[in-house]
Amino acid sequence: MNLRRLTLILVPYLWLMGFFLVPFLIVVKIALSDTAIAIPPYWPVLDLSAGWTGIKEFFSELDFENFVFLTEDSLYWKSYLSSLQIASISTFLTLLVGYPIAYAMAQAPDEWRPTLMMLVILPFWTSFLIRVYSWVGIIANEGLLNQFLLWTGLISEPLQIMNTPTAVYIGIVYTYLPFMILPIYATLEKMDGSLIEAAVDLGCSRGKAFWLVTLPLSRPGMIAGCFLVFIPALGEFVIPSLLGGSQTLMIGKVLWEEFFSNRDWPVAAAVAVVLLMILVIPIMLFQRNQERQEEAGR
């Protein structure tokens, strides 16, 4: 029986070690290596046949040169900053769009709610790529939106939306909206309806009651939703590369290009390490928010 338990633990454990932890350590190692025109295109390569001196030599060759390079070339820190900016703005926009929807869902009659839930979740099951792509035909210069606006006479020249940060905002809000709606809806739906009645009874107007009761009580859901949008948006690749054009800098795209176009593996690895270090902060904050919510729920 103990052997069985050991197998049960070891199989998934070793799998994750081998395909998650070890690869990540390799990334860290390569980030500390130097670029070389060779196969593989980095130096040093660990040579175990040379024994202990080989290992010592290997470690003495590792340095932080690539990280120094990241700070020197403005492309990198600009793209980190611009990723943070784009992720923050689009998270805020998603909150603005998602909150009224979640609120209306929580107010909807009981028998509608499962259907509304399904309608929110359904896009999540559809291909991400297709959902991003579906906007290309709409916001392109000769796209449907511009055709419509030209037809109404509101504008005389097509709007340049495609290949701007605005297109990226639209893409992120659109694809991550369910992540914002669901946690907010969950907190609003749990809320005791008599709280609002109590607030109104004690002299609040409906609007004031919303502001003083509903909004603060839905804060955990809002925070959770914001993190669920912000964290993946920061490292996003598909949206900036399909909608953002060459002018929009986002770090996921930079990493991709560094790796596939420049074939500079050590720099790509260093970019990845720094991105992860930036992500650790929101991830930990998110974790704390979730734990606090769980404790409050008990």
Partner 1 sequence: MNRRMSWFNVTSLTLGFAFLYLPMLILIIYSFNSSKLVTVWAGFSTKWYGELLHNQQFLDAAWVTLRVGVMSSTAATVLGTMAAYVMVRGGRFFGRTLFSGMIYAPLVMPEVITGLSLLLLFIAIGLDRGIFTIVLAHTTFSMCYVSVVVSSRLMTFDRSLEEAALDLGCSPFDAFKSVTLPIITPAVISGWLLAFTLSLDDLVIASFASGPSSTTLPIKIFSAVRLGVSPEINALSTIMIGIVATGVITTSLISKNAIRRQRQEELEGTKQ
User: Is residue 130 within the footprint of partner 1 (CB under 8 A)?
Assistant: yes
Shortest Å, Cβ 91 to partner 1: 15
Q: Of the listed pieces 50-58, 70-78, 139-147, 214-222, which binds partner 1 according to CB under 8 A?
A: 139-147
Residue 35, SS3?
A: strand
User: Is residue 275 within the footprint of partner 1 (CB under 8 A)?
Assistant: yes
The CA distance from 246 to 6, in Å, is 51
The CA distance from 235 to 231, in Å, is 7
How big is the site for partner 1, counted in residues (CB under 8 A)?
82
Residue 262: which of 69, 26, 82 has the closest Cα?
Answer: 69
Residue 43, SS3?
A: strand
N-term to C-term CA, the chain? 35
User: Is residue 81 within the footprint of partner 1 (CB under 8 A)?
Assistant: no
Residue closer to partner 1 (CB basis): 137 or 216: 137
User: Is residue 160 within the footprint of partner 1 (CB under 8 A)?
Assistant: no
Among positions 227-266, residues that touch partner 1 (CB under 8 A) are 231-232, 234-238, 241-242, 252, 255-256, 259, 265
Shortest Å, Cβ 105 to partner 1: 7
The residue within the footprint of partner 1, chosen from 123, 150, 204, 245 (CB under 8 A), is: 123
Among positions 27-66, residues that touch partner 1 (CB under 8 A) are 27, 30, 40
Site string for partner 1, 173-202 (x = CB under 8 A): -x--x---------------x---------
Residue 236: which of 113, 105, 84 has the closest Cα?
Answer: 84
Among positions 198-227, residues that touch partner 1 (CB under 8 A) are none
Among positions 84-103, residues that touch partner 1 (CB under 8 A) are 97, 100-101, 103
Residue 25, SS3?
A: helix
- Output the six-digit token pair for 225: 């939703």
The residue within the footprint of partner 1, chosen from 71, 85, 107, 205 (CB under 8 A), is: 107
The residue within the footprint of partner 1, chosen from 50, 55, 81, 121 (CB under 8 A), is: 121
Shortest Å, Cβ 170 to partner 1: 10
DSSP letters along 121-164, please? Answer: HHHHHS-HHHHHHTTHHHHSTTSHHHHHHHHHTS-SS----TTS
The CA distance from 264 to 257, in Å, is 9
Determine phi and psi for 34, rounding to 5 degrees.
Answer: -105, 150
Residue closer to partner 1 (CB basis): 64 or 128: 128
Shortest Å, Cβ 153 to partner 1: 19
- Output the six-digit token pair for 127: 């291909």
Q: Exposed, middle or buried by CB within 10 Å (0-12, 13-18, 19+), for 38?
A: exposed
Shortest Å, Cβ 41 to partner 1: 10
Residue closer to partner 1 (CB basis): 165 or 233: 233
In this structure, how many other beta carbons lie within 10 angstroms of the beta carbon of residue 156?
A: 7
The CA distance from 235 to 252, in Å, is 5
User: Is residue 80 within the footprint of partner 1 (CB under 8 A)?
Assistant: no
Among positions 1-30, residues that touch partner 1 (CB under 8 A) are 1, 4-5, 8-9, 11-13, 15-17, 19-24, 26-27, 30
